[in-house]
Structure 1
Amino acid sequence: MRILGLDPGLRHTGWGVVDKTGHRLTFVAAGSVDTDAARSLAERLVQLHDGIERVIADFGPDEAAVEETFVNRNPTSTLKLGQARGIALLVPAQAGLPVAEYTPNQVKKTVVGSGHAAKEQIQMMVRTLLPGARIPGADAADALAVAICHAHQRPVASVLAAGGRR
């Protein structure tokens, strides 16, 4: 199964693709969709849409996972992040992919073992779990962490959805 992880942001939306075969994870690709701050909000959302659409077309994931938004102190920033997150949810759903959502604490706890891990710890564990991965930045590392979280949490969610039956 191929999993696309997305870490939404209006300036940079990180993306990471991993393959899961049994219990083994393999790095496929990672990067970010960047928007032009000089453009209008609507144009930037289109840039995110088109960039995520290209990633899906290029790598053909089977499922997607998106990190949930945390609330900033600045309500305007929170709203813009929410709009970027909406695009990150919409595009994979439009492509017919199942889309899961995970809180930042779920991602950190799954990848690092602590829900309050620092970004550096997450990046180190992503590199450990995906040897040889070429990670171009923090946004891509976070997106790979979301994909890893989904790879580990998905079997649990499937059992729970089936009412505890395997």
Structure 2
Amino acid sequence: GISLEKVFFARNPKSALKLGQARGVALLAAAEKRIAIHEYSSAEIKLAVVGYGQATKEQVQKMIASLLHLSGKIPGDAADALAAAICYLHQSDFHARIMGALPAAGRELRR
């Protein structure tokens, strides 16, 4: 699957257009290959990675470096992409644990 951050505003119209085009291409490519798409809000991603939904970009960058044992400063765009992927991993792991804890009959009802 692919993980994306939900976009709710953009300050710069040119940046918004470029972001929209890139998202469109990514979503189309995923849909054509029947790849699952997982979208998360900025606060959900920050909460999953830093533990605080209002974390700063710098806090996210530092936590990504720490979690992945990387040295040096992680570029903002790379940190955002890695954070979205980590958010997905946290969410899917949590979902798997919940499903594993349910009785078999309950799992069928909840799919």
TM-score by length of 2: 0.72
Give the aligned partner of residue 62 of structure 2. Answer: 124
RMSD in angstroms over aligned alpha carbons? 3.0
Give the aligned partner of residue 92 of structure 2. Answer: 154
The residue matched to 2:54 in structure 1 has which SS?
Answer: coil
Cα deviations by residue, 1:14-45 (Å, 9 ceiling, x for unpaired): xxxxxxxxxxxxxxxxxxxxxxxxxxxxxxxx
On the 8 A contact 2:61/2:74 being kept in 1, the answer is no
Give the aligned partner of residue 96 of structure 1. Answer: 34
User: What is the rounded CA distance, in whole Å, between the counterparts of 1:83 and 1:119 in structure 2?
Assistant: 23
TM-score by length of 1: 0.51
The residue matched to 1:97 in structure 2 has which SS?
Answer: coil
On the 8 A contact 2:65/2:74 being kept in 1, the answer is no
Residue-pair matches, total: 103
Give the aligned partner of residue 145 of structure 1. Answer: 83
User: What is the rounded CA distance, in whole Å, between the counterparts of 1:84 and 1:111 in structure 2?
Assistant: 24
Where do 5+ consecutive residues of structure 1 fail to align?
1-62
The residue matched to 1:127 in structure 2 has which SS?
Answer: helix
Q: Matched residues, percent identical?
A: 46
Where do 5+ consecutive residues of structure 2 fail to align?
100-106
Q: Larger helix proportion, structure 1 or 2?
A: 2
Cα deviations by residue, 1:111-166 (Å, 9 ceiling, x for unpaired): 01111111110011111111147876221111000000000012445658x58859
C-alpha spacing 1:137/1:75, structure 2 compared with 1 (3 Å): closer
Give the alignment partner of residue 82 of structure 1, picking from 10, 14, 20: 20
C-alpha spacing 1:73/1:124, structure 2 compared with 1 (3 Å): closer
The residue matched to 1:101 in structure 2 has which SS?
Answer: strand
Q: Larger strand proportion, structure 1 or 2?
A: 1
